[in-house]
Amino acid sequence: QVQLVESGGGLVQAGGSLRLSCTASAGTLNNYAMGWFRQAPGKEREFVAAIDLSGTATIYADSVKGRFTISRDNARNTVWLQMNSLKPGDTAVYYCARRNVWFGTRNGMEYTDWGQGTQVTVSS
């Protein structure tokens, strides 16, 4: 069974940067659109960013647009989320997810496989 594995989370000061990675413990991400979501304590999971199968089409939540960048390298079977200008409001557990179609979507219900998440904490 494929397992998605996130890494790269940690503690950073406001204004700092982190880069999250998502790989598959087995199998491939290459035939899937990928998404990043996050969930803060006491809040519902929310969409962050998504990328299509080819890596050419991306979508972002308004709250992160211009600060976060999603990218992928299919040869390395990896998807990244580069997070710049981090704010305390970005503190959450970040999850990657995949869906077996070309394009990503903001709707988490349309993703079939999820990772365990990586904690991002931004201090003020």
The confidence score (pLDDT) of residue 27 equals: 82
The confidence score (pLDDT) of residue 9 equals: 97
The confidence score (pLDDT) of residue 3 equals: 86
Q: Over the stretch 55-89, which tens digit does the pLDDT of each residue have?
A: 999 999 999 999 999 999 999 999 999 999 999 99
Strand order across the 68-73 sheet: 4-7, 18-24, 78-83, 68-73
Q: Over the stretch 13-50, which tens digit does the pLDDT of each residue have?
A: 999 999 999 999 888 898 899 999 999 999 999 999 99
